[in-house]
Amino acid sequence: MTEADMARWVRDFYAAHPLRGERSLDVAVDTFIANGNFRFDADHDPNTTVDTVHVQIGQTVMWKWQAGTHTTTSGSDPNDPNVGQLWDHPLSDVDTVFTYRFDSPGVFSFFCRPHYFFDMRGAVVVSANDGDHPLSDVDTVFTYRFDSPGVFSFFCRPHYFFDMRGAVVVSANDVTPPMVQVIAPNGGEMLPAHQPTTITWQASDDQGVTGIDLFYNDQEGAPWVTLGRDLPNSGSFTWFVHDTPTAGARVRVVAHDAAGNAAADSSDSWFVIVRVPGGRVPTTLRDFIQPGTQPLDAGSLIPSSVCLSCHGGYQPDT
């Protein structure tokens, strides 16, 4: 059959049969070239017998004429009961381009009606937008947006038994600081110096409180003195009260979460630190509020609990 005869056959066929498949107006993401070697070429490799392209739902594929007279017809072969139901169009020097948008997942085979016996066929693999995608020298990149927190495992279908797998851990975009409240001392208490008192607080966070910092000062506008850093959120801390008599002391609690958010609360009003009885002197530099004298000013180098046994546990008679 000459080229003119083939062109006449295709023209007569579509004169008797309707064209099927609405042309897509979207930009095509891949293209099959209908060439004179009876091939639908998508990978530019003449050794590939049946070319296949991979797209996602909602994407468009193009068939482009290069030489000869052909058709692009959906279906596995002329005997397919659904042949041409999705699309059926000529490709020639008159009808040079056909585009089709795929709106459902699956494997969509197609062929050329007059050249089927020359094995002129191809396939389009359409994946749902759910993270199932090939990776090859043709499909070299796949990207996916994670919109919810969690641990998302993945694997390679053909190489699963070689343990080819991985995981993506997605953290919540936490911008909410913890909630924290000083319970005691919260104002009005009278605390004797060099005696243990319990600082109590409540702190919570939807992702968990990761650390507590404690401070105190002895007058309005005075710098905050560190009592402890990165403490567990136990709700209480034993403080051997500094010998800094004042009627204007407060404590401050700062809560941190894993995302780096922080929140603070201080005593609602002043409490009193009562002077050490006469004849007793400070037992540690902790009682002299001078720069560099406070062991926790630069952060805790040892657990705070260790300090409780130092210098007799801050007992005034030691």
pLDDT in tens, 135-184: 777 677 777 777 777 888 888 888 878 889 898 888 767 788 999 999 99
Q: What pLDDT is attached to residue 297?
A: 44
Q: Which residues of the chain have pLDDT under 50?
A: 285-286, 288, 290-318
The verdict on pTM exceeding 0.85 is no
Tokens 């080229």 locate to 3
Q: Could you tell me if 41 and 99 lie in one domain?
A: yes
Return the structure tokens found at 75.
């279906």
pLDDT in tens, 198-233: 999 999 998 899 999 999 999 988 999 999 999 999
Q: Could you tell me if 124 and 237 lie in one domain?
A: no
Q: Could you tell me if 92 and 198 lie in one domain?
A: no
Domain that holds residue 19: 3-142
Q: What total of structural domains would you count in the chain? A: 2
Question: Which CATH number does the domain housing residue 257 bear?
Answer: 2.60.40.10
Using only C-alpha atoms, what is the Rg of the chain? Answer: 39
Whole-angstrom Cα distance, residue 46 to residue 149?
46
Q: Could you tell me if 116 and 29 lie in one domain?
A: yes
Q: What pLDDT is attached to residue 186?
A: 96
Residue 25, classified by CB atoms within 10 Å of its CB into exposed (0-12), middle (13-18) or buried (19+), is: exposed
Would 39 be classed as within a structural domain? yes
Q: Could you tell me if 17 and 138 lie in one domain?
A: yes
Q: Could you tell me if 136 and 34 lie in one domain?
A: yes
